Structure 1
Amino acid sequence: MKEVNYIEESHDRCADFGLSKEIRHSKKILKGDNLYKKLESKKSFIKLSQPFISKLYDFVKGSNFFTILTDENGCILNVAGDEKILSEAFSLKITPGAYMDEENIGTNAISLALTEKKPIQLSGEAHFISAYHRWTCSAAPIKNSKGQIIGVLNLTGYSDLLHPHTLGMVAAAANAIEKILEVKSSNAKLKNMKIFLDTMLDSIPSGIITSDLQGNIKTLNKYATELFGYDYLEMQKMNVSDLFGDWDKVIKSVKGKESFLDEDVYVNARRNLLQLNLSVHPILDHKQQLKDVVYVFNEVKKVRKLANKIMGRQAIYTFDKIIGTNRTFIETIEFAKKIADSRSTILLMGESGTGKEVFAQSIHNYSDRSKESFVAINCGAIPKNLIESELFGYEEGAFTGAKRSGHPGKFEIADGGTIFLDEIGEMPLDMQTRLLRVIEEGTVSRVGSTKEVVVNVRIIAATNKNLSEEVKKGNFRKDLYYRLNVLPLRLTPLRERKEDIPLLIDYFMGKKSKKLNKKKLEISSDNMKKLLSYNWPGNIRELENFVELILNTEKIPDFTSIDNTKIESTTLLQGAKEERTLEEMEKLHIIKTLKRYQGNITNSAKSLGIGRNTLYRKINKHGIDCSNFERRSTLEQR
């Protein structure tokens, strides 16, 4: 009953379309270029369906049947069959390009398969037009993975050959085409995914390798071949253990579910021995069992450079931030610019507070190493028993408390850039010997290791001591002195460039007032004359601290007398009338700041605008007892 209903409904629609039962061919038939474009657009669908259509035809060959393949709109794409019935079909223009939909040729199995979206068998007078009454047709829609009809497969014969199994055969063939389309779509997705993953892996500037649990290399990216110097096929035949000797240790760690991340290893590249940074990750199957291993190799230099960016190991000062008009001082700046690109060692000499690190950073930023690391180390602030590991690094197990993966020294971290060795005159004699070797050979060896690591580092040393006198006293190696003193640079003390004092006061007044959120103070001409007559033994650092002091007290000192060692004030601290030197005022200001931050060195140093090590030195210098303040934080005590 249901079947009769949809056939009758289709016939009613045909009448509404104004179709005549006497028409003999479709109202819409593509020809010429239009047909060519249609067939080209469906070329892959026709090609993929052909084997299944041929198989279907083989079952009915010689029984006067022919097959039709249409697109989703009923346009015929392919016709094949027995010669006799095929010639009749051609006489009715059932050829590629003809539309078999309801609107153009009336009710037939193909049109109903499109409208009802299911397999349909139709015979005799169930067809709308009289010319098709002699035939029986079985059609089944072909759908994609989304359930959308993309075509119809039809088998047509004479009415007396009607058999229900015919529809089953057509439906089975259509289903087979759907399955192969699904497989092809999945394969295309997998292929695209592989291309995507390969492209993504090749774009990563790290050597990425996968292997089985025996170390046999399975896949690798392009960067790995460049890193190790082998081609793709060569590396696929290799074992990971051929690349680095610690493979057994690594695989044991991964099997034991221990992490192996961000550790330095030595690997055997084609041309030489490389030090690389390695991280290893397990690949688990659906049962969470270890199946394969991923190795990620990075050049140590790149890892260090990234770490330097994160940790802020960059120079911030440039020559245009250095203030001064003194002729000798300007000549010093010009000479510093001239030698900035030289690979020779620079020795900065000058009293404490003259801005040696400012010059070192400016030289680095003016050089061709400006985009690389700038690493500063104060040789006088590091305990003697730690300076070797700080400068040259250490291997795993080198001493009690050493990190499991070892640690790079400052020279390795500064590779490609600049290392600034401040207070070089404080370096122990045994370390001077090792430093001399680094300068001469360009290699460093970590504590506990026999391997030499090549480093390309520009050395800038600084001292406030007379190194030639230290050499005479036996406190400094003569050969190291001459290796460091290749490009000497003497920084002018503030007492020799007093015309720059007003400029510096104005600069620090603006900088500190913003930082402290204080109003700028005006210094009278009489007081300025007295400041100009002062010798400033602490140089620019003393002047900077003095400006910060008067901003914090919000009072200009009423100077009553001044000589080369002290400044007397009547109104400086809380209006007290007492004689104080700048050193005493500095001590009082430090004590006041420490009290404000409850003894927290980090916050106090930040407020004072100096480094932690500098604050520690000033605390020791002034004999300040920190036990008077509240206990520092647990983190800082560590």
Structure 2
Amino acid sequence: MINKRYIKESHQRCIDLGLSKKIKYSKKILGNEKLQDKMENKREFITLSKPFISKLYDFVKGSNFFTILTDEKGCILDVIGDDKILSEAFSLKMIPGAYMDEKNIGTNAMSLALTEKTPVQVSGADHFITAYHRWTCSAAPIRDTKGEIIGVLNLTGYSDSVHPHSLGMVVAAVNAIEKMLEAKSSNAELENVKIFLDTMLDSIPSGIITADLEGNIKTLNKYATELFGYDYLEMKNMNISDVFSEWSNAVKAIKKKESFLDEDVFVKANRNILQLNLSVHPILDHKRKLKDVVYVFKEVKKVRKLANKIMGRQAIYTFDKIIGTNKDFVESVQFAKKISDSRSTILIMGESGTGKEVFAQSIHNHSRRRKESFVAINCGAIPKNLIESELFGYAEGAFTGAKRSGHPGKFEIADGGTIFLDEIGEMPLDMQTRLLRVIEEGTVSRVGSTNEVVVDVRIIAATNKKLSDEVKKGNFRKDLFYRLNVLPLKLMPLRERKEDIPLLIDYFMDRISKRINKKQVEISANHMEKLLNYNWPGNIRELENLIELMLNTEKVPNFLDLIDTKSGSDLDYTVLDDDLTLEQVEKEHIIKVLKSSNGNITNSAKTLGIGRNTLYRKIKKHKINCSKFEQCSSLGRG
């Protein structure tokens, strides 16, 4: 029980540290602010351990014992016990925030459990400091699933009343905590041990309800009562149909041995309607017959984070990837940083190719929402008959072919994060009305449903149009324009900050050469002058594409020599070499991309880095025959 070698070696270390046996208090006790930070950091560990500490204390309650939970460094996180002995402990400042490790308070069971990494009992004079000689302490280290010590559980009582089994009780409690940690981290099936069942269920952040085949609720966890807004007894006497009216469909699926997993459903809580994610699982008896059903309700927002990794777009750009030294441009960047954490709507205005989405992503990544979803949608690239369901989702049965249980829209997927509405000027008027309502009320309703879902979404819109002119033309709602234009951000065209062109060329040359594994191309002073004097109608995107062309051909294209910088025309000139024109290169490249995407215009335009309308014009210009491509067979025949 007490390894004398441990005691002897520990006492010697204390002497070497210069500790006095007469000290009463730990040399390190955290102040209020640091203690609050510590408690918050260890909140989950404390919460998980508390039921087992209480159960351990219940065995010795009234016998002058107290229990202590410490972290991996010996800092006290929690203390409970009988009044008399607890009063003595507090007089010695054995309180949350006090460190019980060897260097701060000498030899004790908690310090030895940490240094020797094993359960230990220390009694009477085996403690280094005299103030602890009246007690016997039993302690054991708590390990996580990786085997690392994350804390210590200790039971202390007067030496004359401590039983040899005290250490055994502590070890049993620690084993229970470690099993709980293992079950929680691995999401494994619940242990079939009654002593752990209630605590394990309460530790899972999902509403879990079991019901018989008639829907009578048999068990539920604490989270379910919080989720639905009822107390435990009230909900225990309810039928599952009282909260989930479509429960019979789930049971039918289970009876047919069909899966019912990760379905979005609407449920009736105490005071409102909630949208939750539901998975249903069968409970079979010993004869493998269906006996009961388990309903696992999760908050949609948490599920959406995983879904967004699959179907949404992640924000990858940050402000350090935005290149420029132009004074006005730098001021725009600083303004964008300043408004990143604002809840107000941002309207980014600028010509095509000026980097509107780069700014939108950078704003998101500079905000407190950086760990949440970033969802981008091009309002001009979605057919008008689909944009409503894309933005707001649809309910089950909303239209022919609708997915069972419906489908979430981009606003639901972006809940908690940012939604980027590119080409907002292309949004149909009826959708503008719905968008205005989302901004004003903070709720969305799926197509075919009357249920309102609360969403917390930061909206960033972008346009290459002058929306005020669109308002005058009747193409854009005035009230929506004012709602969007709360924080206007105007991006400069490249021709107005030409001093940044050499920086951008170096940046793109370095980044693209590494991506495509090509050596960098040297640009002569003459060619650099031409690039500086060119008006860049395609802005930064055009410059980036030109650098990629240089790297792929491993030379500066000959057509740069023929640029008339006074004409202001596009880069649409003569030859790359002796027998292949730039237009021929462009045509062949467009055909290649169309082939690879089976004629999908949206995907092809995205690959080429141009808009759909631009691609349509180029197909017509180059007289590309699309009849062999299934998805654009009606184009290019004239």
Fold equivalence (TM over 0.5): yes
SS, match of residue 225 in structure 2: helix
Gap runs ≥5 in structure 1: 1-188, 634-638
User: 2:362 is matched with which residue?
Assistant: 362
* Aligned counterparts of 2:354 and 2:214: Cα–Cα separation in 1: 62
The answer (yes or no) to whether the contact 1:395–1:447 under 8 Å persists in 2 is yes
Q: Deviations over 1:12-50 (max 9, x none)?
A: xxxxxxxxxxxxxxxxxxxxxxxxxxxxxxxxxxxxxxx
Greater Rg, structure 1 or structure 2? 1
Summarize deviations over 1:538-586 as a string: whole Å, max 9, x none.
000001111111111112134144222145766x5233486x6xxx488
Instruction: State the partner residue of 2:615.
Output: 619
Q: Which residue of 2 aligns with 1:49?
A: none
Q: What is the aligned-residue identity percentage?
A: 72
Q: CA deviation at 1:512?
A: 1.3
Note the alpha carbon deviations across 1:195-254, whole angstroms, 9 max, x for none: 345444333221111111111222223322332233433332222122222223333333
Deviates most, 420-429 or 262-271: 262-271
For each residue in 1:306-330, what CA deviation from the matched residue of structure 2 results, as whole angstroms up to 9, or x when unmatched? Answer: 2113445321111111111111100
1:355 and 1:477 map into 2 onto residues whose CA distance is 25
C-alpha deviations, 1:356-414, integer Å up to 9, x for none? Answer: 00011111111121111111110000000001111111111111121121111111111
Q: Which whole-Å CA distance do the structure 1 matches of 2:601 and 2:427 have between them?
A: 29
> Compared with structure 1, are the counterparts of its residues 308 and 626 closer, same or farther at alpha carbon in structure 2 (3 Å cutoff)?
farther
Structure 1 residue identity aligned to 2:615: I
Distance 1:460 1:220, change over 3 A: same
Structure 2 residue 287 is the aligned partner of structure 1 residue 287: yes
Partner of 1:587: 586
Tell me the alpha carbon deviations over residues 309-354 of structure 1, each in whole angstroms, 9 at most, x when there is no partner.
3445321111111111111100001111111111111111000000
**Any conservation in 2 of the 1:323–1:504 contact (CA below 8 Å)?**
yes
Contact 2:265 2:405 (C-alpha < 8 Å) held by counterparts:
no
Q: For residue 492 of structure 1, what is the amino acid of its counterpart? A: M
- 218-227 or 518-527, larger mean C-alpha shift: 218-227
Q: CA RMSD in A?
A: 2.9
1:333 and 2:314 are equivalent in the alignment? no
Conservation of the 8 A alpha-carbon contact between 2:323 and 2:503? yes
Task: Name the structure 1 match of 2:452.
Answer: 452
SS of the residue 1:556 aligns to: coil
Cα distance change on mapping 1:440 and 1:567 into 2, 3 Å = closer
Q: Secondary structure, in 3 states, of the residue corresponding to 1:369?
A: coil
Partner of 1:453, secondary structure, is strand
Aligned counterparts of 1:515 and 1:616: Cα–Cα separation in 2: 26
Equivalent in the alignment of 1:565: 569
Return closer, same or farther for 1:625/1:410 CA change in 2, 3 Å cut-off: farther
Alignment of 1:253-272 (within 5 A): 253-272=253-272
Contact 1:217/1:236, CA 8 A, preserved across alignment = yes
C-alpha separation in 2, matches of 1:417 and 1:221? 29
Q: Equivalences for 1:191-230 in 2 at 5 Å?
A: 193-230=193-230
| Aligned with 1:575 (options 575, 578, 585) | 578
Secondary structure of the structure 2 residue equivalent to 1:250:
helix
Hey, what's the Cα distance between the residues in 2 that align with 1:389 and 1:251?
29
Q: How does 1:165-204 map to 2 (within 5 A)?
A: 193-204=193-204
Aligned AA for 2:569?
T
Distance in 2, matches of 1:472 and 1:404, equals 43
**C-alpha contact 1:549 1:589 (8 A) present in aligned 2:** no
- Give the aligned partner of residue 423 of structure 2: 423
3-state SS of 1:325 partner: coil
- Partners of 1:567 and 1:451 lie apart in 2 by 53
Are 2:377 and 2:421, in contact at CA under 8 Å, matched by a contact in 1? yes
Q: What is the one-letter code of the residue matched to 1:620?
A: Y
CA deviation after TM superposition for structure 1 residue 279, in Å: 1.3
Report how many residues are paired.
Answer: 437
- Greater shift, 405-414 or 348-357, is seen at 405-414
Deviation of the 1:479 alpha carbon: 1.3
Distance 2:198 2:264 in 1: 26
* Contact 1:351/1:464, CA 8 A, preserved across alignment: yes
Q: Equivalent residue for 2:57?
A: none
Q: Which runs of 5+ in 2 are unaligned?
A: 1-178, 180-189, 632-638
The C-alpha deviation readout for 1:118-171, integer Å capped at 9, x for no partner, is xxxxxxxxxxxxxxxxxxxxxxxxxxxxxxxxxxxxxxxxxxxxxxxxxxxxxx
Q: Where does 1:120-159 land on structure 2 (aligned, <5 Å)?
A: none
Equivalent-residue separation in structure 1 for 2:486 and 2:446 (angstroms): 27
Query: Could you tell me which residue of structure 1 aligns to residue 530 of structure 2?
Result: 530
Contact 1:557 1:569 in 2 (8 A): no
Answer whether contact 1:381 1:613 (CA < 8 A) is retained.
no
Structure 2 counterpart of 1:375: 375
Amino acid at match of 2:476: F
Map residues 432-581 of structure 1 onto 2, 5 A cutoff: 432-558=432-558, 559-563=561-565, 564-567=568-571, 572-576=575-579
TM-score by length of 2: 0.64
**Is 1:305 paired with 2:315?**
no
